[in-house]
A and B are shown apart, each in its own frame.
Chain A
Amino acid sequence: MKKTISLVAALMMVSGVVAAHPFNEAFNEQRAMYGKGHSFTWNGQTYITDHPEEIAAAVVANAANATALLAAAKDQYTQVLAVDFGWTLTKNLLKSAGKALETGEFRKSMDLSAQAQYHSRMGIAQYHQSQAEWIMAVPE
C-alpha cells in the first residue's frame, strides 16, 4: 500500500501539468494543515501526507542508509542545477546533512537529506511547469 501511495505522490509531482490535479490540491491541503504522517481519504482511497523522500528516509537510521540518502539527495541537486532551477536553501541542507553524518547523527542526516532531495525534485518539477505554462502569464 505504501508503495502505491508513494508512487502516486511521485507521479503527481513530476510534472507541473499534473500538479494542477485535484489529488495534488488535496494532498497539499492536507499536508499544510496536518504536516507529515497524517492519513486522509481521497476518492475512497486512503493516503498519507508523506513525501516520497520522507518515506524513503523512514528506514533504520544507520551509516549506510544515511550515506545512501545523502548521495541520492546530492544527485538530485546536481540534476536541478543542470536545469538552472535550484533553490537557495538546498545547498545548506546538504551541507548540514553531511556534517550530521560525520558526527554520527544518522536520523538528523537522513531527515535533512530527505528535505534537500524534496527541494531539488520540486525545483525540477517547477522547471517543467515553467516550460509548459509560462506563456499563460503573458499579457495579451
Chain B
Amino acid sequence: MKIIKSLLAGASLALVASISQAATSGNTLATVDPEADRSAMQSYFQKRFPQVALSDYVNGIYALDAPSREQWQSIEEFPPYEFDIEEGEALFNKTFANGKSYADCFANGGIGIRQNFPRWDASQGKVVTLELAINQCRKANGEEALGWKKGKIAQISAYMAFTSRDNVFDVQIPNDKAKAAYLDGKQSFYARRGQLNMSCANCHIAGAYIKIRADLPGPTLGHVTHFPVFRSKWGELGTLQRRYGGCQKNVRGVPQKTQGEKFRNLEFFQTYMSNGLVVNGPGARK
C-alpha cells in the first residue's frame, strides 16, 4: 500500500509539473500563436537542412534527397496525373441537373483558389476543406455527394489545384473559434497514436529524411502543397485525407473519420504551416 501511495504522489507531482510547463508553450487558446508556430517550424527545417531553399519544400522529400528527386523528375516528364486533370476539368465544367455548376459555388468561378483552402467558415462554424466545399456545392445543387478519398472528387480537386499553381498559400485564422480549430489540429499532429505509438511529427519532423524501412518520410513543411497526389502505391489519384487515414493505419491506429472535424482541423493546421509556399498540386509521389 505504501508503494501505491508513493506512486500516486509521484504521479500527481509529475502531472502538475507537466501542466505548468505546457501552460506557456502554446497548448492553450490563450497562448497558441500560429505565426510563431509557423516560424518555428520553418526555422527548424532551415537549420536542419540549410542547403535547401524554403521554396523547394513544396517538393517534399524530393527537396532533400537527390536520388529520389532524379527519379521523380523522370516521372514528371510524363505526369501520371495528367489524365486526371483533364477528367477533373471536364467534371468541373459539367453542369448540374439544375443548370448550375461548380463555378457558381466558388469565388472567381473556382479558378485559382486552392491556396485559400482549408478556410474557416464563420457561418458554418467550422473548417471547410476544398473537398468538403466541392461536396457541399453538389448537395446545394441537388446532386449526390462524391466519395471523399479518390476518384471524381480527387480529379476535380486536382484540376482546381492545377489552376492555382504558383499561387501562394494564405490560410487565415480570423477569430478565436478558428484558432481553437487550429489548436486542435496542432494537437492531433503531435499526438502519438496507434499500437506503434507514433505521431505525424515523429515521421515528418524528427523523422523527415530518416529511413523507415526502405522509405524516406518527407518534411511536413510543404506537405499539403502538392495534393491531391497520384501515388505509385495507389496507382491512382488520392486526396490528402486519404493519406491521413493511411498514415494512421500504418501506425496501427483506427483511422479517424475522413472529412470529420479532427482531419479537417489537422489539415487546417498543416496547411497554415505551409503558408507562404506555393500551390504545386497535383503531384506524383511513390
Contact = CB atoms under 8 A, between A and B. Distances in A.
Contacts of B194: 87-88
Nearest to A77: B254
Contacts of B14: 17-18, 20
Interface in A84-116: 84-91
Mostly helix, strand, loop or mixed at chain B's interface? helix
A81 interface: yes
B7 A137 contact: no
A130 B195 contact: no
The residue in A8, A81, A84 that gathers the most chain B C-beta atoms within 10 A of its C-beta is: A84
Interface residues of B, number: 40
B7 A21 contact: yes
A134 B27 contact: yes
Interface string A113-140: 0000001001000100111111111111
Measured as residues with beta carbon below 8 angstroms from the partner, the interface class of chain A is 35 or more
A7 interface: yes
Contact of A135 (B25, B43, B44): B25
Given A86-B253, A87-B252, A126-B197, A134 B191 contact: yes
A138 B26 CA distance: 9
Interface string A1-43: 0001001100110010110110100000000000000000001
Contacts of B69: none
A130 B4 CA distance: 24
B199 A7 contact: no
Contacts of B177: none
B190 A21 contact: no
14 contacts: A4-B1, A11-B8, A84-B256, A85-B193, A85-B253, A87-B194, A88-B252, A130-B191, A134-B27, A134-B199, A135-B25, A138-B37, A138-B190, A138-B201
